[in-house]
Amino acid sequence: MADWNELKLSMTYIEKINSLLLPKAKSAPLVLDLFAGCGGLALGFESRGFETLGFEKDADACKTYQLNLKGECKKITLTTETEFPKVDVVIGGPPCQPFSVGGHQLGLKDSRDGFPIFISAIERLQPEIWLFENVRGVLYSNRAYFDQILDALRALNYVVELRLLNAVNFGVPQNRERVVVVGHRGEFRFPQGETKRVTAAEALGEMMTQAPKESKFLTPSMDEYVAKYERASFCVRPRDLHPGLPARTLTCRNLAGATGDMQRIRLPDGRRRRLLIREAARLQSFPDWYEFCGGETSQFNQAGNAVPPLLALHLAGAIKEYLATTNRLSSGEILYRNLPDQFALPLEFKESTEMKIPTFITNTEKPAKITKLFNEALFILSKLGIPLDAVSRRGLEKMAMAFLAVCDVKRSADWSKARIREGKNAIKSREIITYINSHFEEKISSGSYDDIRRKDLKLPVVAGIIVASANKLDAARNDPQRGYSLSQEFVEIIRSFTRDAWTEEIEEFMAEKPTLSERLKAVRQIEHVPIKLPSGQTLQFSPGEHNQLQKALIEEFLPRYGSGAEVLYVGDSTNKYLVRDVARLKALKFFALEHGELPDIVAYSKKKNWLFLIEAVHTSGPISPVRLLELKRLTSECNADIVYITAFLNRETFRKYAPDIAWETEVWIADSPDHMVHFNGDKFLGPYKNQD
């Protein structure tokens, strides 16, 4: 071990992952890798000389495993009846539906849960040692079920020990906390971390300043959305990748999706782009030779779900050392080692600091302790993804009070006692009003009970934080007798609010959950197709809001919806013919450009044979019924299909002109660029598939 430690200390990060993480020739002992994913855990074990046999149901992940590792990976959906060979070591990362918002809290009876399969394998194989890893959320989301898992494993005559390990302490350039649980019958020792932390710049090098051709850049609308997300979540530092620090936790969601917390790099010229798969792999400590199979989203999912191979390398080393020992405990000694005061989770304690709660509301008429409690409630709701920006001060106050009533939290010291109100204990609208009046110095009329449903609890209910009709599943929405309760999914993270590490815990808890803010924003991942200008010319618009809107149409609207359209005509307030392609327009039998009724922009998609006639509304009006008839008359000889677009800078202007807009036309609003409004009768009538 001394030589190995000396060797790794003399290496750069890139040298380390490319030389230390190399599968050795197959040799005993055999390691069974359940729920193997793309092989991050197995790579660490093979690099320590173990032979691996993986089991994974995802086809792409299974191919990645087989392409890069010496061991075989069987594509299979595991069950409690799956047959396995006899082995001394079992490892894995069981999926855990009972900890997710989609779980039904069925515990070990949940067929989608991987833990019964893992426990069954341990019971039948009785290996020398076993290990599994999981997200930090298992410690507080449905903790009772996690304790049930540990008890079931202890009952198989193993000392069960767990640690909260941060991959950054094991040479991985990423803050990634994971719970690692080990079962053994001897003297296992968890690996010791390293003192030096690897930064993103050390891991990525020149990648952080480059923009490969496959780069996906953040658009202005995405930049604005990210800024709003960071303000709403009270980010002290922008969530770009910082060269001098390790990366944030990589997840499937922040790698593959255009979300508010997406992983991104800011280039020297100020542009921001999303991470590429090779960059994600480096930050996860995969070697550069490690290839991922499948499409881009599949590759990001594999990388985001993986155990960092450098962390796995340390764990494999600890297991190898354990197997080299001969001392084993008796059943009585194992029972003693598993006594409650012996298996308390050793956490990485930090110096206690008081959490800083933002001030959402001030109320000089109420005692300071009540106002403080309101701000705590709103802080929790904001961290759980509730958008508060557009809510009035009184609306925030009433939302906080209704939330506190459902939680049954009267004081700041009561958060750990937040309640699940089941059955007849579910709190009804009028009872919420009574609670608020009794504890928060209010005089709200009981006749306003419907405001609880329509206003005060609307957002927490839509977000799933609070369950409506907890006592009457079939109750009508306006039934005053239906009761409210905290969701089973959110109660533990709310109860843990006063813990020092709560802000880190809530970020981990929400990492894979789309927030209500994001769902309401409904950012659509639309592929941007570059638009073409004649002769590749660059447009220079003169100042002014009208020209700003035309610029947005060319840079934002046409790349989204233009199907590769070419701009054939555009004029601004100082140059009527900023762009004009007379030959192409004549070929389409478009009316003469000298005509005084030109739209602001004309663009043509050869792929669709569509001609876009676009009015950019600022001081002039939209495509009204009269204007539509006029344009139809002028384009009656045109041999392309016409699409009529009215564009606005913002919703306020749209609302002003909405009554004048003609049917059979389209509307685009620059401050919501990923959506359109159809004034097309029944042409586009139909359902949207649920994406949740």
Same domain, 546 and 634: yes
The answer on pLDDT for 449 being more than 90 is no
Same domain, 49 and 121: yes
Angstrom distance (rounded) from CA 443 to CA 434: 9
**What pLDDT is attached to residue 583?**
86
Structure confidence at residue 363 as a pLDDT band (50, 70, 90): confident
Asked if the structure places residue 84 within a domain, the reply is yes
Selecting among 96, 235, 407, 638, the annotated active-site residue is: 96
Q: Would the pTM of this model clear 0.85, i.e. be above it?
A: no
Into how many domains does the chain fold?
A: 4
CA angle 648, 651, 655 (to 5 degrees): 95
Any idea which residue has 């006639």 for tokens?
613
- Interval 378-396 mean pLDDT: 89
Asked if the structure places residue 234 within a domain, the reply is yes
Q: What is the pLDDT of residues 46-96, one digit of tens each?
A: 999 999 999 999 999 999 999 999 999 999 999 999 999 999 999 999 986
Same domain, 291 and 214: yes
Structure confidence at residue 471 as a pLDDT band (50, 70, 90): low
Q: First-to-last CA distance in the chain?
A: 49
Least confident of 383-397, 551-565, 618-632: 618-632
Same domain, 297 and 313: no
Angstrom distance (rounded) from CA 531 to CA 528: 9
**What pLDDT is attached to residue 349?**
38
Asked if the structure places residue 508 within a domain, the reply is no
- Interval 34-39 mean pLDDT: 96
Angstrom distance (rounded) from CA 538 to CA 534: 9
Asked if the structure places residue 215 within a domain, the reply is yes
> Between the ranges 43-57, 334-348, 436-450, where is the mean pLDDT highest?
43-57
Single out the residue of 608, 583, 605 nearest to residue 593, CA to CA: 583
Same domain, 288 and 313: no
Dihedral pair phi/psi, residue 21, rounded to 5°: -95, 75
State the residue range of the domain holding 387. 368-500
Asked if the structure places residue 355 within a domain, the reply is no
The DSSP line for 295-334 is: -HHHHHHHHHHSPPHHHHHHHHHHHHHHHT------HHHH
| CATH number for the domain that contains residue 436 | 1.10.10.1820
**What pLDDT is attached to residue 476?**
57
Asked if the structure places residue 237 within a domain, the reply is yes
Same domain, 236 and 382: no
Single out the residue of 367, 391, 373 nearest to residue 457, CA to CA: 391
Q: What is the pLDDT of residues 145-175, one digit of tens each?
A: 888 899 999 999 999 999 999 999 999 999 9
Single out the residue of 4, 24, 30, 28 nearest to residue 16, CA to CA: 4
Give the residue with greater pLDDT, 115 vs 499: 115
Q: What is the pLDDT of residues 292-308, one digit of tens each?
A: 999 999 999 999 999 99
Asked if the structure places residue 690 within a domain, the reply is no
The answer on pLDDT for 128 being more than 50 is yes
- Here the tokens at position 378 are 């709103």
| CATH number for the domain that contains residue 610 | 3.40.1350.80
| CATH number for the domain that contains residue 311 | 3.40.50.150
Asked if the structure places residue 689 within a domain, the reply is no
**What pLDDT is attached to residue 59?**
95
**What pLDDT is attached to residue 536?**
57
- Here the tokens at position 490 are 């959110």
**C-alpha pair distances (Å), 232 with each of 32, 176, 235, 509, 523:** 44, 23, 8, 17, 16
Structural domain ending residue among the three candidates 303, 332, 354: 303
Structure confidence at residue 470 as a pLDDT band (50, 70, 90): low
How does the average pLDDT of the chain come out, rounded?
83
| CATH number for the domain that contains residue 258 | 3.90.120
**What pLDDT is attached to residue 572?**
64
**What pLDDT is attached to residue 691?**
46
Any idea which residue has 């959950």 for tokens?
513
The answer on pLDDT for 428 being more than 60 is yes
At 305, which amino acid appears?
A: N
The reply to whether 96 belongs to the active site is: yes
Answer for the pair 284, 40: CB distance below 8 angstroms, yes or no: yes
Least confident of 407-421, 624-638, 671-685: 671-685
68: left (phi over 0), alpha (psi -120 to 50) or beta: alpha
Same domain, 94 and 22: yes
Same domain, 108 and 239: no
**What pLDDT is attached to residue 252?**
85
Single out the residue of 436, 412, 416, 444 nearest to residue 484, CA to CA: 436
The answer on pLDDT for 140 being more than 80 is no
Single out the residue of 603, 548, 538 nearest to residue 573, CA to CA: 548
Same domain, 471 and 390: yes
Give the residue with greater pLDDT, 690 vs 76: 76
Tell me what percent of the residues of the chain surpass a pLDDT of 90: 48
The answer on pLDDT for 494 being more than 80 is yes
Answer for the pair 173, 250: CB distance below 8 angstroms, yes or no: no
The answer on pLDDT for 246 being more than 90 is yes
* Helix, strand, coil shares, percent, the chain, to 5: 40, 15, 45
DSSP-derived pairing of the beta strands 610-616 and 51-56: unpaired
Same domain, 286 and 184: no
Same domain, 158 and 212: no
> Between the ranges 355-369, 370-384, 414-428, where is the mean pLDDT highest?
370-384
Pure H helices in 408-542: 429-439, 450-451, 458-462, 488-495, 502-510, 516-521
Angle between helices 488-495 and 502-510 (to 10 degrees): 160
Angstrom distance (rounded) from CA 252 to CA 299: 9
Same domain, 240 and 388: no
Cis omega (within 30 of 0) for bond into 29: yes
